[in-house]
Amino acid sequence: MRKQTNRKYAHDVDLSSDIARIREAFSDTAKDVKDKASEVFSQSIENMKDKSANFKENMGTYVSAKPFQSLLLAMLSGIVIGGTLMNRRERAHSRYRE
């Protein structure tokens, strides 16, 4: 038979306070990560705003410098996009006809 022994440690282990400290550390870390992610997201938004403003300005300059090329490019783009969408639409309808 086994002999039961009572082990006594030199210090008391307070598990609940250890868990509370770990939980607090996780909470602090999660808050730091959330703050950093928010900061990065805000910087990305600002970057996108700056790039779109630059694009708009450059596009306006290009259109005013070369109006006929801009018009032809816009018409060609419309034809290509329209043709692509029409082909998709026709393919989708042909599936249901069969």
- C-alpha span between 38 and 45 (Å, rounded): 11
Per the structure block, which two tokens stand in for 4?
């039961």
Instruction: Report residue 80 as tokens.
Output: 């290509």
Predicted local distance difference test score (pLDDT) of residue 11: 58
pLDDT tens digits, 30-87: 999 999 999 999 999 999 999 999 999 998 899 999 999 999 999 999 999 998 888 7
| pLDDT for res 10 | 45
Residue 36 tokens read as 């950093």
Cα 75 to the chain's mean position, in Å? Answer: 33
Distance CA 4, CA 70 (A): 91
Give the largest CA-CA distance in the chain: 101
Rounded percentage of the chain residues whose pLDDT exceeds 90? 58
